Structure formats: structure tokens, C-alpha cells
Structure 1
Amino acid sequence: MLMPSQRRRPKRPLPETEAGPARGPGRPMKRASELKPSRKARTEHAKRLHSQMSGSMMTSSTSSAGAQPDAAQGRLSLSHLETLPVELIQHIFFLSFEVNMARASPQLARVLSKPSIYKALVLFAYFDEPADKIPVETHHFLPAEYRQISLDEKMRLQRAILGCKWFTLDLFKSCMPILSRLQMVEEWHWEHRSEALLDMSLEGHGLVAGPSQDPGEQAEFLQSVAALPSLDDQAGMERHFFATLEPAAVAASFSVVGSDPQHPNHQHPDAPVQSQTGQGSSSQVVGPIGARNTLPRIMRWTCSVDTHGRLHKTPEQGISILAARVFPDHILRGSPWTELKLELVQLLRQGMRFLARDHVLDISATALFEGMASAIRERNETALLVLLELHYATMRFDPSHDPDWFQGTTPPVPKGPDRYFVGPLAHPLPVELFHLAVKKHTGTHVHWHSGVEDRDRDHNHNHKSDVSSSHGHGAKESTSAATTTPARVLTLLLREGIDSIQSDDKILTRWAAHTLNLPVDSTQSFSSASSSSATAPAPAPASASQSSLSFERSLARWLLDFMSGTNTDVTHHLPPTEPLFVNGRLSSRLSDLGGEGSASSLTATLFPNTSFTEEIGYLTHGEDGEDVVRARDGEPCG
């Protein structure tokens, strides 16, 4: 079908009244060379300019030496520090102890990121140098050149390396045998000088091991290890200074509880023993240990001469091989608490326990309380127990800190009308911890008085998870008893912070009243009340549930009596100057009250006659309990 031809319709001219003024031609279009180049073209142009500038600088600087431009181009792009030899860069690093130096550039990171450098930093941070001129085996510090560093440098280095990603628990444990060797060499020279001053010979029968007034049943065993071995005898050094849990020379002779089959009455000083409650475990009697069963301390022998001219040597004082003086905030917070994280805290705690000098500590009370709150949310009794023991060891208000605050009595008593059932603490436990422990049963929302955040929200969103990933401590979460109840958590908190509870506390009063009104067949538990756990625990037997409920009722009744001031156990049997709890241990005046089933034995039934330290199973042989750690400025810690 043929279509008609299409023609452009002619444009009709507008009337002059509607056309308006005549318009001129518009702005001409730009040429292609005048357009703005693309981003890719601009980047390539900048690279060409940079290459030309580098080439001109290279030509002018290397023309006299006849160097090839292509070979020197890579070096000229580095800084003067990066072009130094590797040995010199490492030497500068060990002089500054600035861990951020490795983060300055990839070139410096390649030079400084080596296991030998990591181990050298750990040795510098946690080895306490001898006060006098005693030889040190400096080859352990290679590739670093050994030098003595100040206490402030040591604490700064500890804080720095504990925040590095390369610092792991396995690395820390692998350095403990070397740290133990360094400390044993120092003590060897100290003991050798003591014997030389006494001018006593170790040959023959001139050496007697044990206290001069009462050698005791361990004298025969101590006699076999009391003689000072040679420095080259590593096994003999470990036996002499009790540096390992099971020394190679006596491991086959001692059973699991540490007794000698040939001499049952002789016991190794570091042998596992059961606790007073009969629930001690042979695998947890000394806390965590390092590689090759290395203990966190060695024993110092004291030398004396009796009236018969015989040399007496006694292992009395423990010397730390981990001079831990810093607890960083991110480690104390947990969130979540894992077994590896908790083990690191315990190792640092044991290293602090046996400090021989400079009893100073850098620790934050706020971070410690946040870690306790995290442990309560996770129903982790072990983590809470460890942190409470650490709180008692670091937050006590000692008379040496402020003598004017104490009366001139023995023992010193705080001035004022306040009655301390635990003791004056520089940073007492916040009452919010008690509220957090019972809030799931009372339905109460707990707000921390920080003014910035609500601590009651899910702990998975409170803190960053970089601690577990950067330190290698997040592989396995720490397990806790599935039968954890608010009463069990409250029992731990009361043993350390009973002074924080006021008589008119509404939340604790509501919990106690709620617990007393529970039906007998109630099987509610703290573990089942939490909906944040990944897997629900198996239901407890009826007998266990009834026993738990009975314990909660007893604690609720005791707490109400204490808050109202009608607890006769405390008011009638405890002197005003004597604390109710010391390191979590109930006063001996109350632990022996009444017989089983009597009203006066309720306090002794609820609270164990063991300390936090004993429950954890820490190694305490050789501890000097008189020294109290303080902050760097001499004030209480926290």
C-alpha cells in the first residue's frame, strides 16, 4: 500500500505581539580539548608527573655515583627510617618501646613483626631486674640488646603489648620458662652471696633444710633439694627453686596429691591438696601455669646459722616471674568471658601476688565492676569469683594510704560511726551489681548511675568484640554451672560487698519477699530465666530444685534480718572491730556457732568457711600478705 509522501509542515510565524524580542545565538559548545578530563585520566596524569619528578630527583642524586635509575626508584619512595638496615631499625624500636612504630608503614611492619621480637618485648615487660649488680643472661633477649628499664617504662610496655593483636595467651605461656630461668639466675646469685657472707660450706652435714627451731616432716625432702645446684643444671635449678608444678626429678615419685610413696608424710610444697570443703580438684590447685608446667613464682631460700654452727636454709618467700603491674580495661571487662580470657586474668593476678618490690598496680575500678556485671549477665560464677578476689586484693583501704583516717588501735579501726563488715574499701561494690543479680526474678530494670548508658541492655551490644579476636581469647566461652541462681550470685556479692547494701533497698527487699512467697514446687532458676543463652540447660531434678529453693529462702530470710538489724548472729556474736568477711571467708566467731539445724547456725550454713583465694585454687605458698598494692602515685588503686 503506497503511503503519501511526508512533508515537513511549514512553521507558522507568530504574531509580532506574541513573539517578544528577538533572541541572539546561544553560547558555543566547547571543543573536546577544553572538556574536564575523567578521573582515570587525571589519576594517570598525576602518576606520570610523579614519575617524572622522581626520575629527575633520582638522576640528580645518583649521577655522581653512576647508579641505575630503575634500581634506586623503589628505595627513594621510602622514608629515611625505612631505608635503614633491619638491625638498626630493630635497635631503634627496642630503645623506644613504641609498639605503634610497626603500624607506621608496611615496611616497618615486615621488619618488626617477628616472634623473636614479640618474646623480647614480653621479657622486658615482665622481668624484674635485680636491684644490685647481679649478672643477667642477656642472650634470652636477642635480637634486643638487654638494658635495665624504669618502672614507668615497664608499666607502659605492659599496657602496650596487652593491647596488641599478636599478644596471645599461648605466647605469654611460652615465655614463662624463660622468665623463670631469668629469675632463678638472679636468685641463685643472691643465695650464693648469702652463703658466702655466712662463710659456710655446703659439703658434709653442715646443711640443714627447714626452720632451725622445728624442721618438720618435710625436712628430708627439703634436704635433697636445698643444696645450691650449678647454673648449668636446669633440672636441678627447677627443683631447688620449686619452679615447676612437677619437677622432672620428683614427678615420678609423687602421686596425684603430692605425697612421696616411700615417705608418705613428706609432701611437696606445691603438691595439690583438697580444700577444706572436700571439693578440691588436683587439676586446679595452683591456678593456670605456663609452658612446661612453669609456675608463676619461684621460692627464695633464706639462710641462717644455728648455735651448733650449722647452716639452715628454708624456702619461705615466693618471687614472681611475672611482674604484672597493669590490668587493662578491655581485659577486665570480659563481655563475653571466655576460659582463655579468664586464664589470662588469673595469670596476671598470680604474677601480682608474688611481687618482691615496687608493689604498684594500674587498674580501673570502673572496668572491674563492668567485668563483674558481664559475669553476672552470663551467669559465670567462676569469672565473678576471680574478679571479687581481685577486688579484695587491690581495693582495700590500707592504713598506710591515709593514717589520719584510722584510729590508733591494733588493728587500726576506721574513724566515724560506720560499721564495716568487710572492711574499708577505696571502691566498694556498686549496689547495682546486687540489683542486676536479682532483676530477672523481680522484673526490675537496673540503671547504672553513669549518666550515659543503661547497663541493663543486652551485653552482646555493650562492648566491642575485638578483645576476643585480637588476643585469641574468644575461641571457647567459659562454662558455668547450669544451676546458677540469684541466691548463689548474691552469696558471692555479699561476701565482698555487704557494706554496700542499705537498709531501705527496695529492689533487694522486693526480691527477698518474692522469694519467700514462692510456692514449694517452684523450679524457677536463674539459668532458665535468661533467654539469651544459645541452648537451654537440661531441667534439674526435683530434689535439686527444692534444695536450691530452700537455699534461696534461707538467704532471703537472712538478708531481710540483716537489713532490718535483727540478725542476732551478727549483732550479738561479732565484735564491732571485727569484720564479718575477710577475702570472702566468714568470721571464725560465726562459723562455729550452734549445731546443725539451730537458728544461730544459719549464717554458717549460708556462707562457706573458705576464702575466695581457696575456692579458686590459687597457689599461695610463699605469699607475703602484708604488702598491699597501691597506685603509681601512692593512692589506693582504682
Structure 2
Amino acid sequence: MAPRKGEDSSRRTESRSLQPLRPNAISKSAQSAASKRRPGRRLKHSRDTPSQSRSPLTGSSASPSVAPPVRRRALCMLEVLPVEVIELIFLYSLNLNLPRASPVLAAAISREHIYGLLIILACWDDPPTDNPFSKAMAAILAPLDYVPLTLDERSRLQEAVFRCRWCTMQRVREQIPKMMILTLHRHWINAGMVMKPDQQATLDRFMTRQEGNKSLVLEGKGKPLHRFAELLSQQSPQIARMAQLPGPHDYELHIKPNVLVELRSLTWKTSIVWPAIQLHAFPPRLLRGRSGGFTADDVTFLEMLRLCSNNFWTRSSQLRPDSQTLVDRTALHQGVTNAIRTSNLNAMTSLLKIDEFTYRFGSHNDGRATYYTIPSDHFLTVTRSGRDNPHLNQAFFEALIRASAESIPAHSPEITQWCVENMQLGEQNPPKYSDINGRFAKWLSDFILRLPAQIDYAHNTPSAQLFYCGQLDVMDLEGCRFLDEVLSPCREPLMDYMDESSFHPEHFWVDKQGNEPS
């Protein structure tokens, strides 16, 4: 039967639609589309772009909106392990380059409890001892299978940790109470010290961090401690043998929250100190400051490290030689210059305290008095910076003199001009400048004339420097002049400022979140 007219036309249309277009037909259709498109910049296509990839079925270009599938990198055997196993591998190796190997490993390891364990391992002072390791200590360090580090291992780890960006002031501060609790467990509780019930209850409350942000003095009786015998052997072998006799021996425990633990032997009149942080060296990057100066957190970090590592307590002879803190003085005085140029008095004062303490009381001095100086360029930098604020500018100059008055450059035209200008301020505006800038500049101009004699005197007697740890020697002639000509009658004599700080370590002993440590 012959097809009807409608069927014949539909079949012809269907057969024509299944056939591929001829080249000339494609070009005509393209020309027709191009003629209808609005005039403007011509579209550019590259054969190498993913949107122009060829279709495997028709050989024509694929749609630009369809992106080719992205081939994912196959994970290695280490990356497919459970997160808990990756953490244990990292804590066992202590290789801080492991998170940099891949994003998967970085995501598995970059966790708050891992940061905390690294800080504890790097900063906890745990010297060799025969006291056992308790379950309470293991709970604080979980999931770490703790093995004590040697001094060299801890020093290298600490240097690497402080270089990391995640090692912030807040994270280090959170771990300091835990390190104190570990020290108390290791050297008092696990040593089997027996205390009176009321004092035991006081210590128990202190260990929970729910109260007790004040210093404590507790008494106890216990076995002879090997560490005391080592100390006494340096004085007398006979006394050292007596110190190892069976007890009980009488001990005193002195605790300054987040600062130090001191164990005193009342029987043998000696003591051992464990700082809250065993700081091998101040981080050079923190000493230098940022390119734009020191932030408030940077200054707090400096003060926290200074105080919590016991770099302010002048009884440093009780510290072990391996707990003395090193400092890169080049980096530190670069930070002093940075602080002066950015008008940050708190940062400069903190740096000067660190420099003087570590210089005067370092183990290399063997307890001898040391003549301390700072770079004289700091005084010249003050005369060139911050002159728009005379009061603050004078405070910078006075802080430098309080650190080392003998370091003032003699015969400096810039300092002479600075003195003249500040004396003129006192004359032109007495109510505002005469009591501070004018009086100080007048004393300074006279002191510079007597400076050579003062330097000779201080060289021969280092403890007779005009200022010692920020304290004015009022018994000395120059000290009396400074007191009469600068401080009196409105200001008190300047005292030792090593323990003065805007940061108070004991204030964060109490756990604000109410988390009771295990």
C-alpha cells in the first residue's frame, strides 16, 4: 500500500534528521547564527581548553558548560589510616614536617590536643628521677605514650614548636597549669610525701584548679631524694652519704602558681626549683617583633615567657644549669630598636628586663657581679623618634637609663640638643613639662659630664652601677643626685622592677571553664 502524503513527508523528515549534517550545511547554519548575533568582540576559543574537548560519540565539540571529570590523587597507605593511628605515629616521631607532607595528614594532626601535647613535651621540665609515672599523669598526656626527652631533644623540639604559627600566646598559656600539675605529681605526690590532713586537703583543692591562685607553702615527710644527694655531694661527700640515710626527711613545698615549684630540704638546708616553663631560649622571632611593631599579644607573650620561666627571680643560683635560658642579644636589641621606632614602651621595657636578667644571672657568670651595658645607639634612636610626644619620649630615655645609665654615648651632639630642647620645654610650659622633662634633661646634661668617672667606678665595682635591675642605688652619690634632681618630691625612689609586670601568672590558675584535670 502506498503511503499517504502525510506519512511520506514525516518519514522523509525523520530520515533526514538522523543523517549528519554536511559541511556546507554546517557553515551555512553557522553563518546564519553569526549574522543574527549582535556585533561586538568576537569570541575566542582554544582547542586546549576543557570546554572544547571533543565528544567521543560525534567528534564535535562538547558543550562549554560541561567540565571534564577531575581525577583525584590516590591516597597513600599512611593517609588512609585512622586519625587516631596517624596522631600516634606523629607523636612518636615528633617530626613537625609530617603535616606538610599532604593536606590529609595536616587535617588529621592539626587538632588542639595535639598542639597542647607538643607544647608540653617542648616546655615541661622533667629531669631524670626515680619517682614513678602515675595514672593521673598519663591521663593528662593521653593519648601520648610518654617517654622523657633528653635535654637536647627537648631543646630542638622547643625551637621547632616556637617557629610554628599555631604556637600562640593563648595556646601556650593553656598548657602552663598542666605542666605545673605534672611537676607536682612527679616530684611530690609520686615521691610519697606524707602531709597533715588539712595541708593535704589544701593541695588537693589547688590541684583541681577550682581555687588557690595564691602562693602556697606546705610541709611533708618522705624518703631521701637522689637529687638532694647530688647537690650535697658538691659540698661534702660525707653530708651526701648522710642525706641518703632512711628517713623520714622533712621537706617544704613552695608553689607559685604558673611560675615555679620549689622543693626545700629542711634537714639539709638546700632546695631545687622547677620553673613552670623550662625555656631553653627566647624565640628570636618574638624578640625582634613584627615589621609593624609589637602587638599587645606579643608583649603579653614576652612577659609570660619571662615570668613563667623564672627569668625574674634573682635567686637563680638555686636553678639547675640546664634550666638557664639563652637569649639572642642581636635579635633582642633589634626588637628594642623596633619598639622605640613604633613607640611601644611596654615592649621595650620587657625586652630590657629579659636582656639584663639573662646577662647578669646566667650560669656563665658563676654568681659573680657583672658589668652590664646596652648598645648606645638606642639613646640616639630615642632622640630621633617620637619627638611629637615629649612625655613619652622622655619615658623612653629614662627606661634606657634605668637599664644601663653607663651606656649613654658621651660627647653626642644629638643628646646635647635633646637635653637643650627638653629644658626649653620646661621653661616655656612649666606646669606641663618642668617636673618631668625639664628636671630630667637638666640632670642628664650634668650627668654626661661626670659619665667617664661613673664608668670607671662601675667597671671596678659592677654592683655599683647607677641602676641594678631597675633599682636606683640611693646610697651612691650619683643615685642621690638622681633622687633629688629628678624624682623628688613627686616621685618615689625607683625599686627593682624585675617582678613588675602587667601580666599576672597567678590570675589564670583557676580554671574559668570549670574543667577539673584528671
> 1:617, CA displacement in angstroms?
6.8
- Mapping of residues 295-444 of structure 1, within 5 Å: 295-304=258-267, 318-335=273-290, 336-353=293-310, 356=320, 358-396=322-360, 401=364, 423-425=370-372, 428-440=373-385
User: Which amino acid is 1:342 matched to?
Assistant: V
**Secondary structure, in 3 states, of the residue corresponding to 1:132?**
coil
Structure 1 CA distance for aligned equivalents of residues 289 and 323 of structure 2: 25
> 1:567, CA displacement in angstroms?
9.7
2:472 matches 1:586: yes
Task: Go from structure 1 to structure 2 and tell me whether the alpha carbon gap of 1:341 and 1:107 turns closer, same or farther (over 3 Å shift).
Answer: same
Give yes or no for contact 1:561–1:567 (8 Å, CA) kept in 2.
Answer: no
Task: Go from structure 1 to structure 2 and tell me whether the alpha carbon gap of 1:580 and 1:607 turns closer, same or farther (over 3 Å shift).
Answer: farther
Task: Go from structure 1 to structure 2 and tell me whether the alpha carbon gap of 1:179 and 1:326 turns closer, same or farther (over 3 Å shift).
Answer: same
Comparing both chains, which one has the higher relative contact order based on Cα–Cα distances under 8 Å and sequence gaps of 6 or more? 1
Task: Go from structure 1 to structure 2 and tell me whether the alpha carbon gap of 1:617 and 1:318 turns closer, same or farther (over 3 Å shift).
Answer: farther
Deviation string, structure 1 residues 251-303 (Cα, Å, up to 9, x no partner): xxxxxxxxxxxxxxxxxx99xxxxxxxxxxxxxxx9xxxxxxx5232343433
Task: Go from structure 1 to structure 2 and tell me whether the alpha carbon gap of 1:555 and 1:155 turns closer, same or farther (over 3 Å shift).
Answer: same
> 1:176, CA displacement in angstroms?
2.4
Structure 2 CA distance for aligned equivalents of residues 412 and 295 of structure 1: 29
Give yes or no for contact 2:380–2:415 (8 Å, CA) kept in 1.
Answer: yes
Task: Go from structure 1 to structure 2 and tell me whether the alpha carbon gap of 1:620 and 1:499 turns closer, same or farther (over 3 Å shift).
Answer: farther
The partner residue of 1:234 within 191, 195, 204 is 204
User: Which amino acid is 1:171 matched to?
Assistant: R
The partner residue of 2:392 within 458, 463, 485 is 485
Give yes or no for contact 1:161–1:167 (8 Å, CA) kept in 2.
Answer: yes
**Secondary structure, in 3 states, of the residue corresponding to 2:309?**
helix
Match of 2:49 in 1: 40
**Secondary structure, in 3 states, of the residue corresponding to 2:87?**
helix
Match of 1:501 in 2: 408
Give yes or no for contact 2:284–2:332 (8 Å, CA) kept in 1.
Answer: yes
Match of 1:520 in 2: 427
User: Which amino acid is 1:382 matched to?
Assistant: N
Give yes or no for contact 1:243–1:295 (8 Å, CA) kept in 2.
Answer: no
Give yes or no for contact 2:426–2:437 (8 Å, CA) kept in 1.
Answer: no
RMSD: 4.2
User: Which amino acid is 2:108 matched to?
Assistant: V
Task: Go from structure 1 to structure 2 and tell me whether the alpha carbon gap of 1:236 and 1:381 turns closer, same or farther (over 3 Å shift).
Answer: closer
Deviation string, structure 1 residues 445-479 (Cα, Å, up to 9, x no partner): xxxxxxxxxxxxxxxxxxxxxxxxxxxxxxxxxxx
> 1:575, CA displacement in angstroms?
10
**Secondary structure, in 3 states, of the residue corresponding to 2:364?**
coil
Deviation string, structure 1 residues 117-175 (Cα, Å, up to 9, x no partner): 11111111111124212223122222222111122221222222223233333322222
Structure 1 CA distance for aligned equivalents of residues 321 and 168 of structure 2: 27
Match of 2:485 in 1: 602
2:214 matches 1:245: yes
User: Which amino acid is 1:245 matched to?
Assistant: K
**Secondary structure, in 3 states, of the residue corresponding to 1:154?**
helix
Deviation string, structure 1 residues 302-331 (Cα, Å, up to 9, x no partner): 3339xxxxxxxx997653222122322221
Structure 2 CA distance for aligned equivalents of residues 115 and 599 of structure 1: 52
Give yes or no for contact 2:259–2:505 (8 Å, CA) kept in 1.
Answer: no
Unaligned runs of 5+ in 2: 1-44, 55-70, 217-253, 312-318, 507-518
Structure 1 CA distance for aligned equivalents of residues 379 and 467 of structure 2: 17
Give yes or no for contact 2:87–2:109 (8 Å, CA) kept in 1.
Answer: yes
The partner residue of 2:79 within 78, 82, 103 is 82
User: Which amino acid is 2:265 matched to?
Assistant: T
2:122 matches 1:125: yes
Deviation string, structure 1 residues 203-249 (Cα, Å, up to 9, x no partner): 7xxxxxxxxxxxxxxxxxxx953xx569xx7315579xx973389xx
> 1:490, CA displacement in angstroms?
0.9
Give yes or no for contact 2:341–2:386 (8 Å, CA) kept in 1.
Answer: no
Structure 1 CA distance for aligned equivalents of residues 482 and 201 of structure 2: 59
Task: Go from structure 1 to structure 2 and tell me whether the alpha carbon gap of 1:412 and 1:43 turns closer, same or farther (over 3 Å shift).
Answer: farther
Normalized against structure 1, the TM-score is what? Answer: 0.53
- Mapping of residues 23-34 of structure 1, within 5 Å: none
Task: Go from structure 1 to structure 2 and tell me whether the alpha carbon gap of 1:334 and 1:349 turns closer, same or farther (over 3 Å shift).
Answer: same
**Secondary structure, in 3 states, of the residue corresponding to 1:298?**
strand
Instruction: Work out the percentage of aligned pairs sharing the same amino acid.
Output: 23
Deviation string, structure 1 residues 425-448 (Cα, Å, up to 9, x no partner): 4xx4222211121214779xxxxx
Structure 2 CA distance for aligned equivalents of residues 599 and 37 of structure 1: 81
Deviation string, structure 1 residues 53-111 (Cα, Å, up to 9, x no partner): xxxxxxxxxxxxxxxxxxxx96x812343234434422331133222211221110121
**Secondary structure, in 3 states, of the residue corresponding to 1:612?**
coil
> 1:377, CA displacement in angstroms?
2.7
User: Which amino acid is 1:86 matched to?
Assistant: V
Structure 1 CA distance for aligned equivalents of residues 505 and 85 of structure 2: 44
Structure 1 CA distance for aligned equivalents of residues 52 and 299 of structure 2: 52
User: Which amino acid is 2:396 matched to?
Assistant: V
Match of 1:199 in 2: none
Task: Go from structure 1 to structure 2 and tell me whether the alpha carbon gap of 1:334 and 1:43 turns closer, same or farther (over 3 Å shift).
Answer: farther
Task: Go from structure 1 to structure 2 and tell me whether the alpha carbon gap of 1:617 and 1:107 turns closer, same or farther (over 3 Å shift).
Answer: closer
Structure 2 CA distance for aligned equivalents of residues 373 and 88 of structure 1: 47
Give yes or no for contact 1:125–1:157 (8 Å, CA) kept in 2.
Answer: yes
Give yes or no for contact 1:326–1:363 (8 Å, CA) kept in 2.
Answer: yes
Structure 2 CA distance for aligned equivalents of residues 224 and 145 of structure 1: 35
Structure 2 CA distance for aligned equivalents of residues 176 and 402 of structure 1: 29
| Between structures 1 and 2, the one with greater helix share | 2
**Secondary structure, in 3 states, of the residue corresponding to 2:427?**
coil
Match of 2:173 in 1: 173
Structure 1 CA distance for aligned equivalents of residues 459 and 365 of structure 2: 24
User: Which amino acid is 1:601 matched to?
Assistant: D
Structure 1 CA distance for aligned equivalents of residues 325 and 53 of structure 2: 56
Structure 2 CA distance for aligned equivalents of residues 181 and 599 of structure 1: 46
Give yes or no for contact 2:278–2:323 (8 Å, CA) kept in 1.
Answer: no
**Secondary structure, in 3 states, of the residue corresponding to 1:330?**
helix
Task: Go from structure 1 to structure 2 and tell me whether the alpha carbon gap of 1:143 and 1:573 turns closer, same or farther (over 3 Å shift).
Answer: closer
Deviation string, structure 1 residues 525-557 (Cα, Å, up to 9, x no partner): xxxxxxxxxxxxxxxxx83x1xx3332222222
Give yes or no for contact 1:376–1:437 (8 Å, CA) kept in 2.
Answer: yes
Match of 1:154 in 2: 154
Q: How many residues align?
A: 393
**Secondary structure, in 3 states, of the residue corresponding to 2:280?**
coil
User: Which amino acid is 1:298 matched to?
Assistant: V
Match of 1:552 in 2: 437
